[in-house]
Amino acid sequence: MSETNALSVLQPKDFKGKVDPDWCPGCGDFGVLSSLQRAVSELGLKPHQILTVSGIGCSSNFPGFFNSYGMHTLHGRSLPHASGAKLSNHEMKVIVTGGDGDGYGIGGNHFTHTSRRNLDILYIVMDNQIYGLTTGQVSPTSEVGMTTKSTPHGSTELPFNPMASAITAGATWVARGYTGNVKQLVTLIKAGLEHKGFSLLDVFSPCVTFNKVNTYQFFRPRVQPLEDIEHDSSDWKQGIEKAMVWGDVIHTGVFFETNSRLTLEEQEPVLDEGGPLAYRELGLTTEQNERIVSRMM
């Protein structure tokens, strides 16, 4: 079922979906899509080896624009669908795509617990700090004071901090990208895909239609790759420290990573041998039947 043939490496265009994206011209999500297509191509992956799972929202339309197996699920529920699928077929490369409202708002509970669970999944959040598909309301990552259709007098709630939250919840690879820096983004996606464990990649992906604050012009002078400064990504304290920075400088890059924890798949004896559960033979043996009944006597 899974095979890697180095002689027939696919090109990014081979990962184009059946339809072109319906995002607004200039949307940051285009850069994320093309970066992922480049990353999987460079890693030699095939469409049938990948399962792309999303929730609902502009960025959650992603699986339709990307050639692989896909699940376009419910608002906020991409992570549990992906987790079930991963446990059912742990040989698939599972990539979850979505937005900040989907992942940190309505899906916030799953975000926390999926981080703890440490399944080998890459979660790419296209963070535009606004609800786009519902035409511009405040999101969990909107800044204090931001005026939107639902906060005409400015948002009063502190923005959710995806990096710090993921680190404390137990994610084993936590990074941030910026759709305006494709080179770094491709590198980060590849690293996230190669990391064994739950990887969060939050990507600043400006909404050109509804977010007039956090624009390309806003990010361009502020984003500072952690690769360019002194940062020990194996130290969670440094990761959280960098995550708290928001102002004239906003960090991108790998905030925290560790290989010290086993993935859930590695810890689950049921998956030790026999390949993906999904493809195993169904039903019980006569011996199992007899053993179960004998314990009832």
Partner 1 sequence: MSGFDFVISIGGAAGQGIATPGNILARLFARQGIHMYAYNAYQSIIRGGHSFLTIRASDREIRTHGDVIDLMICLNQDTMDRHLEHLGPNTSVIFNSDTIEPGKAADGVQLCPMAVAELAGKGANKLMQNTVAIAVTCQLLGIEFSALEDVLEFQFSAKGEELVAMNVKVAKAAYDHAAENFQPAPQQAPKSGQPLAVWAGNQAFAMAAAGAGVKFYCAYPMSPSTGILHWMAANARELGIMVRQVEDEISVVCMTVGAAHAGCRSMCATSGGGFALMTEGVGAAAMMEVPIVIVNVQRAGPSTGVPTKTEQGDLWQVLGASQGDFPKLILAPSSPLDAFQTIPEVFNLADKYQLPAIILSDLLISDETSTIDPEILDLQPVIDRGELITEAGEDAGNYERYKFTDSGISPRALPGIPGYEHVVATDEHMPDGVLISDEFTHPHKRRAMLEKRQRKMDGLLADLPPPAIVGDADAEVTLVGWGSTAGVIQEAIGQLAQVGVSVNHLHFKWLVPFHADEANQLLSSCKHTIIVENNYSGLFHRYLRGETGFTVDGHIRKYDGEPFKPHHIVAAVQEQLEGDETLSVPYEKIIV
Residues that bind partner 1 (CB under 8 A): 1-3, 17-19, 22, 46-49, 51-53, 56, 61, 63-64, 67-74, 77, 80-89, 91-92, 109-110, 112-113, 268-271, 274, 276-280, 282-286, 288-289, 291-293, 296-297
CB of 253 to partner 1, least distance (A): 30
Contact by Cβ (8 Å): 158, 87: no
Rounded distance, CA 292 to CA 35, Å? 52
CB of 167 to partner 1, least distance (A): 19
Q: Among all chains, which residue has been given the structure tokens 């850069």?
A: 31
- For 85, phi then psi, to 5°, come to -65, -40
CB of 79 to partner 1, least distance (A): 8
Q: Helix, strand or coil for residue 43?
A: coil
Q: Helix, strand or coil for residue 257?
A: strand
Q: Among all chains, which residue has been given the structure tokens 């798949």?
A: 265
Comparing CB distances to partner 1, the nearer of 156 and 267 is 267
Comparing CB distances to partner 1, the nearer of 9 and 74 is 74
Dihedral (C-alpha) 74, 77, 78, 79: value to the nearest 10 degrees? -170
Comparing CB distances to partner 1, the nearer of 143 and 268 is 268
CB of 261 to partner 1, least distance (A): 18
- Residue 6 CB neighbour total at 10 angstroms: 6
Comparing CB distances to partner 1, the nearer of 75 and 195 is 75
CB of 90 to partner 1, least distance (A): 9
Comparing CB distances to partner 1, the nearer of 13 and 220 is 13
Pairing of strands 199-204, 223-225: unpaired
CB of 244 to partner 1, least distance (A): 26
CB of 245 to partner 1, least distance (A): 30
Rounded distance, CA 270 to CA 9, Å? 33
Rounded distance, CA 66 to CA 33, Å? 8
Comparing CB distances to partner 1, the nearer of 74 and 208 is 74
Strand ranges, E, within 80-222: 93-99, 121-127, 173-178, 199-204
Comparing CB distances to partner 1, the nearer of 145 and 275 is 275
Nearest to 165 by CA among 111, 129, 127: 111
